Structure formats: C-alpha cells, structure tokens
Structure 1
Amino acid sequence: MLTVLFSIFLFTSSAETEVFQVEDDQKIVLDQVEIDQYYLSYFDRVFIDEKKLNVLMDNLEKTLYKAPVNAKLADDNQVISEKPGITLDRSKFEILFREYFYQNKNQKLQVPIVKVHPKVDSGLIREISSRQLGSYATFFKTSNKERSHNINLAAEAINNTVLFPGETFSFNEVVGERTKEKGYKRAPVIVKGELSEDIGGGICQVSSTLFNAVDLSGIQVIERYAHSKRVPYVPDGRDATVSWWGPDFVFKNLYNEPILIRAKANQGKMIVSVYSSESAEHFTGND
C-alpha cells in the first residue's frame, strides 16, 4: 500500500508543523500519541484544548476535501455523469477523538470521511435541458487568433452553468480574472472609447451574447453596462461590457426551475442558449 505524507499546520504554542500519515488518497490515521498532544496546558493533561482541536479539524478538512463534480452535457449533448466529492465527517471525528483521548484506547484512529454530493446530478441535467427558453448568436473573425482564443476560453467557462431559482449569476465570478496564467492573450479592447489591446480582449462579445440570450421574462438583469463606443457584433444598446476591475454583468433567475446555460464558440460563431424544464415559468410570487 502506498503511503503519502501530508503536512498540516496546527495551532500549537510552539507553532510546529504536524505530519499525518495518509494510507491512501482518502485515509488519514492518527496514533494515540498524536491524539494525546491536544491536552489543555496547565491542567495536567486532563482536558482537551478545544482551540487546538478545532484547528486540527479545519486542517483535516482542507487536506481531505475533494470537490464534487456536477453532471454536464458534452458537445454532442450526451450526459456526463456527476462525481461525488469527499470531506471530513466533522461530527463523527469529534466524537471519536474525544473517545480516544479520554479512554486512552492506544489504537489508531482512522479519520472518518463523508461524501459531498454534487449540486447537479444526471437526472436534473436531463430535465433542465429539455426546453430551450432563449438563444442568441454573434459572429467573429477567426483570423484574429488571439481574440478568437479568448472568446473560446470565456465560452467554456460559462458553458454548463446551472442557476437555481433565486440564484444570481456574475460573469466575473464565473469566468474569473482574465490572466496570462489562465491562457488569455492580448487582443483588441475598447478602453474609454478608444480601441486598444489588453489581456482578455474579446470576452465582451461573450458577455454581450449572453445578455441577449438571457433577455427573458424570467431573468432579472441586475447589473449591465454598455461600451463607451458602439461594438459591431450586436445591435446598438444590446451589449454588456465586462472588466475584472470594473463593470460586471449580473442577472438573477426568477424562474421556478433551474436554468442551464450552454455556450460555444466555433468557426467564427459565438452562441449562447438557455434551457430549463418543461414546467419552467416566470415566478411572480403570486398564487
């Protein structure tokens, strides 16, 4: 069996680093001698130092946590199944830890884990992809490879986003900061009415296409800004400029069902479509 060592910083008076033995990618074991060190100082090792124990559990969570993966649709509309994640079973661990500490079992404590279920499973993704609520397409020149590349990256970032009733979508939060490290390239952008070049140039076409696709009765636009200069890929007044340190495009799902956003850029065409279930309707709050 492969043994891996994880270093976890613990809150101790000497600010030492504790090393836990991990028997595989999901198992951490604590020896009795490790458990015994969590005593409260000045009380002859009779009581647990609760502050140290909480720090231990926080760091075990960070070490063990594996995020769940939502179900999604592939390019050919086949469902890619979800994958559960894992995390520390905090309540069970605390019970076991106290039992081992006070009863001095002199045995190894295997740290308990619990599954983290994904928010979107295969059944839901099938249901909310059955009815198209809206769609919009724009076009771009593939000869500008840097700009095309940025459009592709941003489209991939918002593709398969599921927004539940009452939830808010932020373009900047979903796409994240546009940096070289994330693969974004310098391309033309409009800054204060002037054409310039910057990292991530082109993604405003993605946000503008998205705005036109979600311009529906069940979507509330919370934040949208127009460019200071007219853009050629959407009609006048139908754009949504975004910038990491500036404008964002934000909207809220007012439907009674989750919505699914599909986005794809291919061969000079940027298209965003919005889907939901057959029973989706604009929720007004009235009976």
Structure 2
Amino acid sequence: MKLTYLTMLLLFANQVISPSNLVVTYKGETVADVQPADFAIPYLDEPILDEEKYSEFIKELEEDIYQEPVNATLNDSGEIVAGKAGYTLHRQKFRDLFYTYFLNKQPVEIEAPVLKVHPRVDKELLAMIRTKRIGQYITYFNSNNEERAHNIALAAEAVNNYVVFPGKTFSFNEVVGKRTKEKGYLPAPEIVRGEVSEGIGGGICQVSSTLFNAVDRIGVKILQRYSHSKSVPYVPSGRDATVSWYGPDFSFKNNLNQPLLIRAKAAYGNMEINIYSSDIVEYKPREVPNASKELRRDMEMFGE
C-alpha cells in the first residue's frame, strides 16, 4: 500500500516538474497553453496529428492574434491621416514549429510568428485619387429631428473615405453593416410596406439615396437599387434607393479605370456626398436632377 502511494506521488511530482505543454505567446503575453495529447489521434502507436482539432486550434489562435489594418483616410480638414498595418498568424511557420513540438513531446514556448497585413488604402493611393471631384449630390433633412439626424450622420460616417477599386462592387449593407442600438443607431421614423413607423436606424435611406444619385452622375454600373413603397421628399420622384438589413440593398460596380473615393458628411441639415478619383479617370457624366432645398422645411414631421 505504501509502495503504491509512493509511486503515485512520484508520478504526480514528475508531471509537475516536467510538463509537456506548448505555451504560445504573442507580444509577451500567453495566448494558448496546450498539450500534445490534445491533438493526437488516439489508439495509434505513432503520433499522428488530428487535423480537425488542429484546424480548430489554429482558427481560435488566429482570431486572438489578428489585428486589422487601418486604411489611410482624409480628416475633416482634407489632410491625409496615414494608415496602419495589421498582423495575422503566419500559418506555415507556426505549423512547422508546432509539428516539432508535437513529435518531440517536450515542453516549449513559442512566440507566435506573424505576417504583416497591409491596409487596402495607403496614403500614396489616397493622395492620387483625392485630386479630382467627378460626382456630387446633396440632399436636405430636418436637423431638429434629432434621432433621424443622428442616424443619417452615423451612416454617412460609415461610408465616408471608402474606396471602391476598379472592377469591385460597393454594397451599402456590407459597408455600413447592421443598424443596431449597440452601434449607436436610434429609433426614428421609416417606411415599412408603405406605412410610416418607428424603426432602429430610420433615416439611413437618405444616405443610400444621396450616394445613388452621386455615383449615378458619373455613370457607374448600378447593380441593385429599389425605390420606397411611397414617395420620399428628400430626392426627386424615382431617385431614391431604399435599404434594409433583411431586405433590399443598394450596390454598384466601379466600371471605371480608376479607384473611386467616397466622401460623405451630414451636418446642419445637409447630406452631402462627393466622389473623387485621379486625374486620369475616364468617365461619362450623366444628367441627374438635383434635390430641392425647399423640401427641407416640409420634413419636420416626415419619416422614411
């Protein structure tokens, strides 16, 4: 009995003194602590990696390490704010390191190898495509309707500084994302099946409609565009673009030879969108009717 107890004590002590853990660190902090047995296919004489378990581990590790790059932008003064590179796990290098540990079953600490992720838009590109304004559209809203004005400004901020490369598609729903309380959107009037009702994010269709008219003026290819079930006062009849997270989207394709820069701002009752590109952009301007300034005074009780 004493021998059995002593044997168990020694085994436990050996586990404490000589663990076979793999500790993964990133920037000096531990992001994972695992054992080889967790990734081995059981009941085999030779250690064979369970690829499914390893893939799940890598996915979680990558999510912990990933740092999204930040695009270069223009501030309110028109000055370029430089972008910032991001980082992601270097999968191949990590697999080589992991496999050595898996076969040797020796305790080891690995600093996660990473790859630099460059931003989509750097300051050099932004400097090139901000030079020429090729499209503009302005609509008007009642700034005294604070909830609706707030939603309009929030959606305008989401599309501001977005760059659409040649051959690529812009989706309003994809770029702006789901309109939720957590993102700061407020209940405001909106049109649902021809009736005015309260909804989170009411007002954002004015942003999508303003954008539609701005890009339509430069002749891009409109892919999706739907009108409201009743007329809206902020654009001429038939010139609106309704959007809904679970419903219609507004999207267009940049069929021009240069990237397009969207500049959007909502303030003092004006929703303004300007489209910029480089000096060598080739496009054919289109006639699009302007929104009426007189409509703003009629909007006090209006909701989308």
TM-score w.r.t. length of structure 1 = 0.84
Cα shift readout 1:37-80 (whole Å, capped 9, x = no counterpart)? 43331223533223322222122111111111111111111111
Which residue of 1 is the match for residue 174 of structure 2? 173
Which residue of 1 is the match for residue 253 of structure 2? 252
Displacement, 1:244?
1.8
Which residue of 1 is the match for residue 146 of structure 2? 145
Distance 1:64 1:26, change over 3 A: farther
> Which secondary structure does the structure 1 equivalent of 2:35 belong to?
helix
Bigger strand share: 1
- Contact (CA 8 Å) 1:41, 1:49: kept in 2 or not? no
For 1:1-287, list aligned pairs within 5 A.
25=27, 28=30, 34-35=35-36, 37-103=38-104, 106-282=107-283
- Contact (CA 8 Å) 1:28, 1:111: kept in 2 or not? no
- Contact (CA 8 Å) 2:22, 2:101: kept in 1 or not? no
Q: Tell me, which stretches of 5 or more residues in structure 1 are unaligned?
A: 1-18
Report the residue type matching 2:171 in the other structure: S
- Contact (CA 8 Å) 2:212, 2:240: kept in 1 or not? yes
Which residue of 2 is the match for residue 5 of structure 1? none
Displacement, 1:27?
5.2
Equivalenced residues, count: 264
Report the residue type matching 2:91 in the other structure: R
- Contact (CA 8 Å) 2:170, 2:252: kept in 1 or not? yes
Which consecutive aligned stretches of 4+ in structure 1 deviate over 4 angstroms post-superposition? 19-31, 103-106
Counterpart-to-counterpart distance in 1, 2:192 and 2:177: 20
Distance 1:201 1:30, change over 3 A: closer
Cα shift readout 1:226-247 (whole Å, capped 9, x = no counterpart)? 1222211111111111122222
Counterpart-to-counterpart distance in 2, 1:54 and 1:150: 41
Distance 1:38 1:260, change over 3 A: same
State the structure with more CA Rg: 2
Counterpart-to-counterpart distance in 2, 1:229 and 1:126: 42
Counterpart-to-counterpart distance in 2, 1:234 and 1:29: 52
Report the residue type matching 2:121 in the other structure: V
Bigger helix share: 2
Report the residue type matching 2:180 in the other structure: T
- Contact (CA 8 Å) 1:187, 1:200: kept in 2 or not? yes
Counterpart-to-counterpart distance in 2, 1:130 and 1:152: 25
- Contact (CA 8 Å) 1:27, 1:110: kept in 2 or not? no
Q: Tell me, which stretches of 5 or more residues in structure 2 are unaligned?
A: 1-20, 285-304
- Contact (CA 8 Å) 2:71, 2:83: kept in 1 or not? yes
Identical-residue share of aligned pairs (%): 53
Displacement, 1:197?
2.5
Distance 1:49 1:245, change over 3 A: closer
RMSD: 2.3
